[in-house]
Amino acid sequence: MKEHTSIITDDWEHCILCGGYPDHEHHCLHGSYKELADKFHLVAPLCHNCHEKLHDKSKDDKKLQAKAQEAFEEHYPELDFLKIFGRNFK
């Protein structure tokens, strides 16, 4: 995998959900939020199987969205998550 920058995890050797080998960089806030996820480094490593499951709007998808919001609020306390993203993921 390429070099990654994330405020969610430093461990790019393991899938953030199952601990397996990651082969995908997942935008924890995806769809119309993808560019903002890139800008604020809200990405995490996923294996193929976990990545496929997330796109079915699973509970793990919601968990990663909440984790992304928490990481954002911790790393950027001077910024208002709700103003930037327009919704609460927690």
Query: What tens digit of pLDDT does each residue of 46-65 get?
Result: 999 998 888 766 788 889 99
Separation between Cα atoms, residue 72 and residue 33, nearest integer Å: 13
**What percent of the chain lies above the pLDDT cut of 70?**
92
* pLDDT tens figures, 13-37: 999 999 999 998 999 998 899 999 9
pTM score: 0.87
Tell me how far apart the alpha carbons of residues 27 and 3 are, in angstroms, rounded to a whole number: 15
Distance from C-alpha of 47 to C-alpha of 20, rounded to nearest angstrom: 6
Report whether pLDDT(1) > 60.
Answer: no
Is residue 12's pLDDT more than 90?
Answer: yes
Token digits of residue 27: 């935008």
> CB neighbours (10 Å) of residue 85?
20
